[in-house]
């Protein structure tokens, strides 16, 4: 058992939290996970898991299981709004031999794989539960939970998303995520081309569209739209509204527009945020979106969350006589600049897509520079 962390509480059962549970279990800690969802059937749309993300998942032994649930993708295809192909770019691979350059997967399949791995490793997952208070008691933390219990832990990991309760409880003066000026629409469509995994990207008038294969049967189409402020839209009109947004596009998107499956469309406002150092107060640490929220332009929000969790486990295992606060300092020092780089690059591209800061002539260059940095060890 880890001499530094005997018992840990992970708040949040998404990618960051479930990966943290697996990573801490692997170094000998007992782990409780609290999650507000009713059960393990977490819904959502699509994810593109790139090879740095798969490399991190491989460090905790789940990469192959994740790949098996998705569709390997090895090529980025760029098109104009009318559907004309501009370029096909091979996706680089920094993961080990045997893993693909990237994987398209549904959020539900990704979460389920991590959930099953965490459960099999020994995590105790408590649904419909979160924290009400976190109080220091004799070099530990007593967590009052909404299920009526008040267990004591050596370490609390706040992995509860961009609206983090843990951040509010323990870091009340921290900066908060800001609206980025864009919303993202998503909808599921049948998969026509089953011969090869592709990620397609198209640019229109103030809109950027992407298509990702996520299974043998389905793809997702997404559209980034500039909006001065998020608007409330009746969910009953989601499908009609989304189709109207895609009206200017031809080619693959034109076909996708006519085949969006009713009841699969969602919309989300995009936010960005990097919390100042430290992301911890000695016994409670924030990871994933709770510490750094990013827009999807670089496509590495889930990757940062998984990396945070894996590195946290590595730092706890390698403490070598350090106390927990010193270990968490080293964790944040190792993660801060990498996470800040992704958030700032994604936010800058988002601004360029909105016609701000002089246009997006450097978008490709900034994207390449950021991915070159992500190819380096996490």
Q: Where in the sequence is the domain holding 130, given as residue range(s)?
A: 7-71+99-177+273-374
Reply yes or no on whether the pLDDT at 42 is more than 90.
Answer: no
Does 172 reside within a domain?
yes
DSSP letters of 47-113? EEEEHHHHHHHHHTT-HHHHHHHSEEE-EEEEEETTS-EEEEEEPP--SPTTS-SEEEEEHHHHHHH
**DSSP conformation class of 172:** T
Kindly report, residue by residue over 83-124, the tens digit of the pLDDT: 888 888 889 999 999 999 999 999 999 999 999 999 999 999
Q: Are 177 and 288 in contact (CB under 8 A)?
A: no
| Residue 302 host element (H or E) | helix 301-317
Number of domains in the chain: 1
Confidence label for 196 from pLDDT (cuts 50, 70 and 90): low
The H helix count followed by the E strand count for the chain is: 10, 19
Percentage of residues in the chain with pLDDT exceeding 90? 79
Question: What span, in angstroms and rounded, lies between the C-alpha atoms of 179 and 269?
Answer: 7
Confidence label for 198 from pLDDT (cuts 50, 70 and 90): low
Does 306 reside within a domain?
yes
Beta-bridge partner residues of 187 = 221
Question: What span, in angstroms and rounded, lies between the C-alpha atoms of 46 and 333?
Answer: 31
Does 38 reside within a domain?
yes
Does 23 reside within a domain?
yes
Does 254 reside within a domain?
no
Q: Are 3 and 28 in contact (CB under 8 A)?
A: no
**DSSP conformation class of 275:** P
CA distances from 91 to 88, 151, 197, 360, 368 (A): 9, 46, 11, 22, 11
Does 81 reside within a domain?
no
Reply yes or no on whether the pLDDT at 291 is more than 80.
Answer: yes
Kindly report, residue by residue over 308-345, the tens digit of the pLDDT: 999 999 999 999 878 999 999 999 999 999 999 999 99
Reply yes or no on whether the pLDDT at 250 is more than 70.
Answer: yes
Give me the pLDDT at residue 106, please: 94
Does 226 reside within a domain?
no
Give me the pLDDT at residue 1, please: 44
Average model confidence (pLDDT) across the chain: 93
Reply yes or no on whether the pLDDT at 56 is more than 90.
Answer: yes
* Rounded mean pLDDT, 187-200: 77
In the structure encoding, which two tokens stand for residue 292, read together?
């750094």
Does 183 reside within a domain?
no
CATH number where 58 lies: 3.50.50.60
Kindly report, residue by residue over 222-238, the tens digit of the pLDDT: 999 998 888 788 889 99
């Amino acid at each position: 058992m880890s001499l530094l962390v005997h018992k840990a509480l992970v708040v949040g059962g998404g990618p960051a939290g479930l990966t943290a549970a697996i990573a801490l279990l692997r170094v000998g800690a007992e782990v409780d996970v609290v999650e507000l969802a009713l059960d393990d059937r977490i819904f959502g749309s699509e994810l593109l898991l790139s090879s740095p993300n798969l490399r991190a998942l491989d460090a905790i032994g789940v990469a192959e299981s994740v790949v098996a649930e998705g569709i390997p993708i090895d090529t980025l295809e760029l098109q104009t709004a009318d559907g004309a192909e501009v370029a096909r770019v091979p996706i680089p691979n920094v993961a080990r031999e045997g893993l693909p350059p990237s994987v398209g997967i549904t959020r539900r399949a990704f979460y389920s794989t991590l959930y099953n791995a965490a459960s099999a490793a020994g995590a105790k997952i408590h649904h419909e539960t979160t924290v009400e208070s976190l109080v220091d008691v004799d070099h530990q933390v007593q967590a009052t939970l909404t299920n009526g219990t008040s267990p004591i832990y050596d370490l609390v990991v706040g992995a509860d998303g961009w609206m983090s309760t843990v951040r509010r409880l323990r870091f009340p003066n921290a900066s908060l995520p800001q609206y980025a000026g864009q919303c993202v629409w998503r909808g599921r469509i049948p998969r026509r081309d089953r011969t090869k995994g592709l990620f397609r990207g198209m640019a229109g008038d103030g809109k950027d569209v992407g298509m990702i294969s996520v299974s043998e049967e389905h793809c997702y189409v997404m559209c980034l739209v500039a909006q001065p402020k998020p608007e409330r839209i009746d969910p009953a009109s989601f499908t009609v509204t989304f189709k109207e947004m895609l009206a200017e596009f031809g080619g693959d998107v034109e076909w996708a527009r006519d085949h969006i499956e009713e009841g699969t469309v969602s919309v989300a406002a995009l936010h960005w945020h990097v919390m100042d150092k430290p992301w911890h107060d000695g016994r409670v640490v924030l990871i994933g979106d709770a510490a750094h929220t990013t827009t999807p332009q670089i496509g590495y929000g889930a990757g940062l969350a998984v990396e945070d969790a894996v590195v946290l486990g590595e730092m706890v295992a390698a403490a070598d006589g350090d106390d927990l606060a010193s270990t968490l300092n080293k964790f944040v020092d190792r993660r801060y600049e990498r996470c800040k780089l992704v958030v700032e690059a994604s936010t800058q591209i988002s601004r360029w897509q909105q016609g701000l800061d002089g246009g997006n002539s450097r978008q490709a260059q900034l994207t390449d520079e950021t991915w070159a940095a992500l190819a380096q060890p996490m």
